[in-house]
Structure 1
Amino acid sequence: MARHYGLLGRLARGTVALTPAGEPGPYLRLLLSILTQATWRGEPPLARLADGRLATEHFNELIQTIRQQARRSDFQRATELWQRVGHPHFQSTEAYLNSLFDQYARLLVVRLDLYYRADSPHGGDGEQSKAHLQQLLNNRRQNSLFEHLVGYLWKLEFGTERGFHYHCVLLFNGAAVREDMTYGDLIGDYWRDVITDGHGSYWNANKPSHHPSWHGALDVGMIAHDDWERRQNLLLKVVSYLAKPDPCLQQGVPEGAKRFRTFGRGEMLRREGVKRGRRRREQKSPLPA
């Protein structure tokens, strides 16, 4: 304990471990916020403070406070989010989305879950689910429904109820299309009726009737390039989940099933010639402060 007492007592705000973007993580922010109230810092362990108690007693209370705060659900969510945004998948996807917003004044964001009916054998067939997604992506070149699609993200998961399934974000040129809920249903119907020949099902997260609290929190639908708050929500509350590594997936797949990619996105746009539209402001960091 004496060693920790000395280390925490000397800890200053300038001595921090940073993320790649220069933001302290949630554990360090929690520690620093509590240390600012520590009256025992700089005192010998057995010194009596103004309230008559030993400095070590205050130190022990601080440790208990840290443990209690770290158990809070909001702190654990913040920690999970912080771990996601430091992953290479998230960082490359952030650059991908920024390139799209550089090219288009606004994007129509559609968030779908694509899976299979409970009575379908395809839910346990990873090769078939992979082929169905590839067919969907390939068909976008000939299907007018995807005429204005400019980008996409997908994540493969495996669950005991749904088997293999995909979480998808589809990004359309917002100057050409609108009505995100309608687009979500049309694409979901296409997955169900055409791609999977009636074996599929879907969840349209753009519908507030499905989860009323989700629609604002997820920030799907039409997002303007200069709406920084909604762009941050898109990254932190939608994209971060898709980019999150899932070490449990490979342990959950049926024995003998082939391993394959669990995350994908469209190609990064190349900037050719003069950029369209007015000059854009410098990008802001989506990382939580």
Structure 2
Amino acid sequence: MYDASYHDTPTDEEMLALMSSMNDGEWTTNALGQAIVIPSDHYWRQDVIKCDQQLKRMGAMGGMLNSQRLIQPDAFGSDIVMLASDPLLETLTTLYTVLVTLFHDTEIGQYYRPSPYATRFLWAFGSCAYLREAGFHQPPTMSRDMAEQTVMELNQRLGAWYQSLKQPDFTYECNRNRRNSHNNYHSLCKLIAALFDRYSRLQVVRVDLSYTAIDSPYIDYETARYHREQLCETFHKHELFHQLVGFSWKLEWQPKKGFHYHFLFFFDGHQTQQDVIQAQRIGELWAQSITGGQGLYYNCNLDAENKYRYNAMGSVDYHDIKKQRGLYELALYLTKIDDYAAMLVKGRTFQTSPKPNVSEGPRIGRPRQFATSWSVGEVNFP
């Protein structure tokens, strides 16, 4: 199914509107008015992201708990006290409950990769008796002396967590996704350069492949990977890909769209025409045959000259400086940092096809009048 309402960049509201349900599923209504159940793993994926956002905000604020404000009598005149409602304490309790459930008490977290913030939070608070009691049961009552010790312990753990965020190893781990993005960009640029060394004209087709709003909550990483592998298998046998000379794909995740792929195809430009139709046929193959009607696609080649500042879609000759610049921009976009997918997927989220071996055959196309301007060494990496 063609997604005419497609918008590739989520809004801030979409990123923050993440639900944190922790049940076995939630009843809702689909577009046809039919009652359906949203599976719990859909909410767990959103919890992983929401926790990371909360941890980043908490780390930036650097707040501590105030015992005088927190410690309140359980009843008027009573010597038994409890810790009163407090935004920071509530955040700590929620984070503890979700992260411990995910990564300590169950096997749910085996499918996810905790962020450096979450890893250090579990190190600092994983053994906290108060948060376990408050998170999984109810806030306990205690003596005033015990309450003072509890607040002191929580602040000590908070201080240790804040301090861990300043360590070099934390910074190194946080930059892992940036390094991966840099390497992916370099790989894609190398592939494009090698293709232009082999072919004087490429037909560039980009199709974004996703799932319907009804189906996307049910699509986990394993399902998305299976569908992608099925599509890649058709490269060797479907007539659509007879002139395919290279490709790349990137897996992403968004709160509303769920898992989806950005696919970039390179065809022999002297043998392939009608890029818009080619993209449409690939999208229909995904939507109908590969996913069995669960899929959506967006044809990026359609009206590309009016949609993109640097258009790289369609036919690109080795001497076309303007379109090559578009390819650089597109490569940069397709390999941008994606922290969400990095947390939700332990497997591969980006891949390019092998570079063609120029020595395997003659360069395709007319003799070159000058050297190609494409040079990986001239790329300014992000």
- Choose from 248, 253, 261 the match for 2:348: 261
TM-score for the superposition, normalised by structure 1: 0.63
Does structure 1 residue 167 correspond to structure 2 residue 262?
yes
Does structure 1 residue 240 correspond to structure 2 residue 332?
yes
Native 8 Å contact 2:181 2:335 kept in 1: no
Q: C-alpha displacement at 1:217, in angstroms? A: 2.6
Aligned residues: 198
- Quote the Cα distance in structure 2 between the aligned partners of 1:197 and 1:134: 15
Change in Cα spacing, 1:191 to 1:270, as seen in structure 2 (3 Å) is same
- For each residue in 1:27-69, what CA deviation from the matched residue of structure 2 results, as whole angstroms up to 9, or x when unmatched? xxxxxxxxxxxxxxxxxxxxxxxxxxxxxxxxxxxxxxxxxxx
- Quote the Cα distance in structure 2 between the aligned partners of 1:123 and 1:231: 39
Does structure 1 residue 102 correspond to structure 2 residue 197?
yes
- Quote the Cα distance in structure 2 between the aligned partners of 1:241 and 1:202: 18
- For each residue in 1:258-288, what CA deviation from the matched residue of structure 2 results, as whole angstroms up to 9, or x when unmatched? 5211111100111216642524505443449
- Choose from 225, 245, 254 the match for 1:130: 225
Aligned-residue RMSD, C-alpha:
2.4
Does structure 1 residue 225 correspond to structure 2 residue 315?
no
Aligned counterpart, 2:139: none
Aligned counterpart, 2:367: 278
| Structure number with larger C-alpha Rg | 2
- Quote the Cα distance in structure 2 between the aligned partners of 1:130 and 1:157: 12
The alignment partner of 1:198 has SS state of coil
TM-score for the superposition, normalised by structure 2: 0.48
Code of the residue aligned with 1:265 in structure 2: it is T
The alignment partner of 2:297 has SS state of strand
- For each residue in 1:233-277, what CA deviation from the matched residue of structure 2 results, as whole angstroms up to 9, or x when unmatched? 1112x11111223223234x3xxxx52111111001112166425
Change in Cα spacing, 1:218 to 1:85, as seen in structure 2 (3 Å) is farther
Native 8 Å contact 2:201 2:317 kept in 1: yes
Q: C-alpha displacement at 1:213, in angstroms? A: 3.3
The alignment partner of 2:253 has SS state of strand
The alignment partner of 2:358 has SS state of coil
- Quote the Cα distance in structure 2 between the aligned partners of 1:84 and 1:217: 25
- Quote the Cα distance in structure 2 between the aligned partners of 1:84 and 1:172: 29
- For each residue in 1:114-167, what CA deviation from the matched residue of structure 2 results, as whole angstroms up to 9, or x when unmatched? 001111157531101011111101111110011011111111001111100001
Native 8 Å contact 1:122 1:129 kept in 2: no
In the alignment, structure 2 segments of 5+ residues that lack a partner are 1-177
The alignment partner of 1:218 has SS state of coil
Native 8 Å contact 1:126 1:164 kept in 2: yes
Q: C-alpha displacement at 1:216, in angstroms? A: 5.5
- Choose from 145, 149, 161 the match for 2:240: 145
Change in Cα spacing, 1:226 to 1:259, as seen in structure 2 (3 Å) is same
Native 8 Å contact 1:154 1:168 kept in 2: yes
Identify the structure with the greater helix proportion.
Answer: 2
- Quote the Cα distance in structure 1 between the aligned partners of 2:221 and 2:361: 44
- Quote the Cα distance in structure 2 between the aligned partners of 1:214 and 1:286: 24
Identity %: 30
- Quote the Cα distance in structure 1 between the aligned partners of 2:218 and 2:334: 20
The alignment partner of 2:202 has SS state of strand
The alignment partner of 1:111 has SS state of strand
In the alignment, structure 1 segments of 5+ residues that lack a partner are 1-82
